[in-house]
């Protein structure tokens, strides 16, 4: 979930924009509609050059981008937490632009963008496409981390290679004008959605910013000036009345939203009882296709094993990061920890988790409505632990007969974390946890699993078979699904199969810089232990505490250095990055 100020879920339609605002919006749509023909006439090699100019413009705006994000989120610019804004803003945008240039170059040369990848296999005969690492740079910078895209069952390796490219395979067939209703939490979401519309679907775009991102308007305007100057993109601002007017505007052929399922349903069916009636009848008020990324309640499945005290402490910090990154305002934030009721170390882990949540750096509750959502969780769970300064973080222990339905079906989009348990150990626990995540939790965007290497070895093929039954669009093993968001080549979206009437975490994917067709899910893997304990434990990983951890002391500098590297890669830049990362 990210609240998109587009419609009023309470049942009352938002006000209509005034005449001058409507005229300005109509003019923006007309400008972009004229740009559609220019996009159709722009050959693939020219598109590569254009993306290169965008890459240079984003790099030039990186400092201003982060400064604006820090202001919007009321962060101390010198805080290590500012590293989040480097990584989830200009860094991943630059990475995506580079990957898209690679893809378009390959297609322009008559090659598949995944021609050189060595495919693997996954349960059910699925083709597995490696999307991280894809270069020696990535291999070193993210040593020990990997990501593979599991394609839908029934596709052959030759099918996968031949179909990669999507709209780039037919660049002159444009998709009209698309509306992107931007997210309000992560600053790269809207730009990445725009790029995907352009390249994957050949749609020119009007981007409507969420009001929380208005601070970024000058940065976006400068960073994406090469697209704006050609009439391929227009960026507009406004509240719910503007979003509603645009969504219903006949000038758009498609809508993409990153937001909440509630807002999505109001756009598709209309507000109030009339909207509910249309939904029941299957007669949407929105007369055009819509794709979406809508968040949900993400599980963190902790597979029982024999852990050291250092393991318990590190993985508790890992879970705290999954909840508290960006203040807890992430569609992919972990919300429900699933433990084994038979794990001897479960209470020791809960105590470490309580400590990690309490000791994580404080930050202002900057996202609108956060305090109200925390209060609602506190009202539902009066015995929740209130942690951090002022008790603004909640740890809800929904075990031992406590009704877990609220924590499992409400995306709190705030620093609220729950704990539930299921019985069993080994494969029995894993199977029960997967079934619980599939049936009890709302949404299918991302799921996380934490499992010690020895336990993973004991589970053998049963582990991947369990992953195949876990119906989420991104699954992270000893990592956080946020890395799947950062990985340019990984498709990002809900597990396929949702409908307008039961949208869950959304329909369709974005990012997906290799333009894979018919991806089912992304599997991200990382080290259970950080370096040097990883090596001592038999894992081939040189990764220290990852820079996205909220407890990483050098995160701001590491994020800045990584962004500078993404702007202009060079072997000479690596030593400074490693030196900063190892000070985390």
Q: What is the pLDDT along the chain (584 residues), one digit of tens a residue?
A: 444 444 444 445 557 899 999 999 999 999 999 999 999 999 999 999 999 999 999 999 999 999 999 999 999 999 999 999 999 999 999 999 999 999 999 999 999 999 999 999 999 999 999 999 999 999 999 999 999 999 999 999 999 999 999 999 999 999 999 999 999 999 999 999 999 999 999 999 999 999 999 999 999 999 999 999 999 999 999 999 999 999 999 999 999 999 999 999 999 999 999 999 999 999 999 999 999 999 999 999 999 999 999 999 999 999 999 999 999 999 999 999 999 999 999 999 999 999 999 999 999 999 999 999 999 999 999 999 999 988 999 999 999 999 999 999 999 999 999 999 999 999 999 999 999 999 999 999 999 999 999 999 999 999 999 999 999 999 999 999 999 999 999 999 999 999 999 999 999 999 999 999 999 999 999 999 999 999 888 898 988 999 999 999 999 999 999 999 999 999 999 999 999 999 98
Beta strand 120-122 with 126-132: parallel, antiparallel or unpaired? antiparallel
Domain contains 115 = no
**Vertex 488: Cα angle to 477 and 177 (nearest 5):** 130
Domain contains 104 = no
CATH of the domain at 286: 3.40.50
Domain extent at residue 282:
1-42+171-294
Indicate if 290 and 302 belong to the same structural domain: no
CA distance 446 to 521: 9
pTM: 0.96
Indicate if 251 and 304 belong to the same structural domain: no
Tokens representing 523 are: 């599997």
Start-end of H helices in 473-532 = 482-486
**Vertex 446: Cα angle to 407 and 370 (nearest 5):** 45
- Which of 294, 317, 332 is a domain's end point? 294
What burial class does residue 496 get, using C-beta atoms within 10 Å of its C-beta: 0-12 exposed, 13-18 middle, 19+ buried? middle
Domain contains 146 = no
Indicate if 475 and 413 belong to the same structural domain: yes
Domain contains 437 = yes
List pLDDT tens digits, range 146-201: 999 999 999 999 999 999 999 999 999 999 999 999 999 999 999 999 999 999 99
Strands (E) across 21-125 are located at: 120-122
Indicate if 279 and 343 belong to the same structural domain: no
Domain contains 163 = no
pLDDT number for residue 431:
98
Domains in the chain, number: 2
Tokens representing 187 are: 């600053």
Indicate if 519 and 388 belong to the same structural domain: yes
User: How many CA atoms lie less than 13 Å away from 176 in the CB half-sphere?
Assistant: 11
What burial class does residue 23 get, using C-beta atoms within 10 Å of its C-beta: 0-12 exposed, 13-18 middle, 19+ buried? exposed
What sign for the dihedral angle of Cα 257, 259, 265, 269? negative
- Which of 279, 294, 309 is a domain's end point? 294
Indicate if 260 and 304 belong to the same structural domain: no
List pLDDT tens digits, range 506-546: 999 999 999 999 999 999 999 999 999 998 888 989 889 99
Indicate if 313 and 284 belong to the same structural domain: no
- Which of 294, 322, 345 is a domain's end point? 294
């Amino acid at each position: 979930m990210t609240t998109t100020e587009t419609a009023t879920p309470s049942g009352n339609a938002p006000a209509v924009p005034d005449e001058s605002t409507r005229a300005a919006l109509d003019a923006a749509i007309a400008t972009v509609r004229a740009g559609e023909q220019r996009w159709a006439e722009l050959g693939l090699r020219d598109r590569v050059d254009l993306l290169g100019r965008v890459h240079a413009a984003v790099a030039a705006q990186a400092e201003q981008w982060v400064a604006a994000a820090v202001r919007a989120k009321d962060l101390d610019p010198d805080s290590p937490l500012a590293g989040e804004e480097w990584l989830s803003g200009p860094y991943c945008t630059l990475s995506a632009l580079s990957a898209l240039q690679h893809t378009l170059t390959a297609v322009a040369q008559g090659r598949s963008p995944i021609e050189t990848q060595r495919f693997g296999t996954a349960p059910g005969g699925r083709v597995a496409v490696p999307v991280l690492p894809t270069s020696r740079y990535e291999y070193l910078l993210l040593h020990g981390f990997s990501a593979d895209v599991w394609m839908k069952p029934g596709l052959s390796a030759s099918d996968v290679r031949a179909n990669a490219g999507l709209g780039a395979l037919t660049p002159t067939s444009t998709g009209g004008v698309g509306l992107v209703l931007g997210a309000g939490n992560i600053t790269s979401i809207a730009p990445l959605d725009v790029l995907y519309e352009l390249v994957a679907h050949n749609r020119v775009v009007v981007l409507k910013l969420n009001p929380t991102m208005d601070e970024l308007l000058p940065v976006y305007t400068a960073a994406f000036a090469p697209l704006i100057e050609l009439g391929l993109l227009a960026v507009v601002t406004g509240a719910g009345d503007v979003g509603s007017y645009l969504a219903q505007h006949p000038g758009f052929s498609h809508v993409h939203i990153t937001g909440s399922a509630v807002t999505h349903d109001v756009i598709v069916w209309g507000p109030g009882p009339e909207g509910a009636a249309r939904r029941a009848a299957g007669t949407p008020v929105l007369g055009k296709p819509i794709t979406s990324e809508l968040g949900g309640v993400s599980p963190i499945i902790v597979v029982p094993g024999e852990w050291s005290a250092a393991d318990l402490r590190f993985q508790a910090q890992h879970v705290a990061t999954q909840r508290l990154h960006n203040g807890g305002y992430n569609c992919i934030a972990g919300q429900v920890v699933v433990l084994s009721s038979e794990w001897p170390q479960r209470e020791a882990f809960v105590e470490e988790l309580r400590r990690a949540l309490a000791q994580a750096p404080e930050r202002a509750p900057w996202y609108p409505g956060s305090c109200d959502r925390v209060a609602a969780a506190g009202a539902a769970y009066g015995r929740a632990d209130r942690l951090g300064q002022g008790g603004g973080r909640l740890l809800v222990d929904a075990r031992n007969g406590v009704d877990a339905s609220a924590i499992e079906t409400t995306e709190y989009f705030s620093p609220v974390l729950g704990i539930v348990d299921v019985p069993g150990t080994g494969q029995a626990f894993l199977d029960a946890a997967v079934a619980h995540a599939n049936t009890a939790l709302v949404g299918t965007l991302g799921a996380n699993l934490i499992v010690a290497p020895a336990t993973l070895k004991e589970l053998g093929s049963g582990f991947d078979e369990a992953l195949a039954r876990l119906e989420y669009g991104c699954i992270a093993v000893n990592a956080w699904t946020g890395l799947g968001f950062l990985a340019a080549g990984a498709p990002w979206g809900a597990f396929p199969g949702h409908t307008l009437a039961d949208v869950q975490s959304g329909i369709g994917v974005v990012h997906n810089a290799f333009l894979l067709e018919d991806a089912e899910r992304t599997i991200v893997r990382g080290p259970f232990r950080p370096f040097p304990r990883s090596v001592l434990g038999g894992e081939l990983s040189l990764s220290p505490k990852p820079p996205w951890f909220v407890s990483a002391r050098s995160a701001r500098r590491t994020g800045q250095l990584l962004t500078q590297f993404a702007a202009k890669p060079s072997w000479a830049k690596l030593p400074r990055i490693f030196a900063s990362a190892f000070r985390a």
